[in-house]
Amino acid sequence: MDEDFDLPGGGFVSLDLYKRACDSEGATPVQLIGEGSFHQMHGGTTTNVTMEQRQNRTQSYQKQYDKLRGNASVTSDTPVRYMGHLPSERSRIHRYFKG
């Protein structure tokens, strides 16, 4: 983790870590079908606020990222390998339950 990402909640530190890992020489990013990703602990800096506050904060995160990395893209262009399978229609039992 790059400690220069010092905004509340870490800003785009998790995105930066993921991008650098994907862009590492010889790396092959793998997406497991049906699985999620980790969630950064940030104390609700972008989730427990108004939409306006969220937009202002993410803009400040983007500005810091641009300053630290010299570009605006927080995503990797490295091809992703997908592993797993898409479940059959019958395995989607959540569709049959009425709340």
Each domain of the chain, given as residue ranges in start order, spans 8-96
Single out the residue of 81, 83, 69, 72 nearest to residue 2, CA to CA: 69
In Å, the largest CA–CA distance within the chain is 50
CB 52 within 8 A of CB 45: no
Per-residue pLDDT of the chain (99 residues; tens, 9 = 90+): 999 999 988 999 989 999 999 999 999 999 888 777 666 666 677 778 899 999 999 999 999 999 999 987 999 999 999 998 877 776 666 555 555
CB 12 within 8 A of CB 63: no
pLDDT of 74: 92
Q: Could you tell me the pTM of the whole model?
A: 0.74
**CA 47 remoteness from chain centre:** 14
CB 42 within 8 A of CB 9: yes
pLDDT of 9: 85
